[in-house]
Amino acid sequence: MHDWNDGSGTAWWWMLPMMFVFLVAVIAVVWALVNGNRSRSTQGPQSPQAMTAEDVLAHRLARGEIDAAEYGERLNALRQHAKSG
């Protein structure tokens, strides 16, 4: 009965490239899972319907449209309006 390599013992070296290919495939799958979850959790700004007035105000501060003093004044006004309403 013949072996795959006809008994010469030289086919064992194919295991090394195959293990390398398997390792690269496993790393690619893990990388895709990690980056897939990461991209869903950091999708940028929320839609305007999902944002509260305080969120809009915070985004305006972050973009530099208003300064910290104006942010504080408007935030206080929003919170007082919410208490009275």
Signed CA dihedral, 39, 41, 47, 53: sign only: negative
Q: What burial letters (b/e) apply to 50-70, b meaning 16+ CB within 10 Å? A: eeeeeeebeeebeeeeeeeee
pTM: 0.43
From the first residue on, what is the mean pLDDT of each consecutive set of 10 residues in the chain (85 residues)?
59 84 96 77 61 89 92 92 82
Q: What is the pLDDT of residue 53?
A: 87
pLDDT of residue 4: 60
pLDDT of residue 27: 96
Residue-level pLDDT at 22: 96
SS (H, E, C) 35-59: HHHHHHHCCCCCCHHHCCHHHHHHH
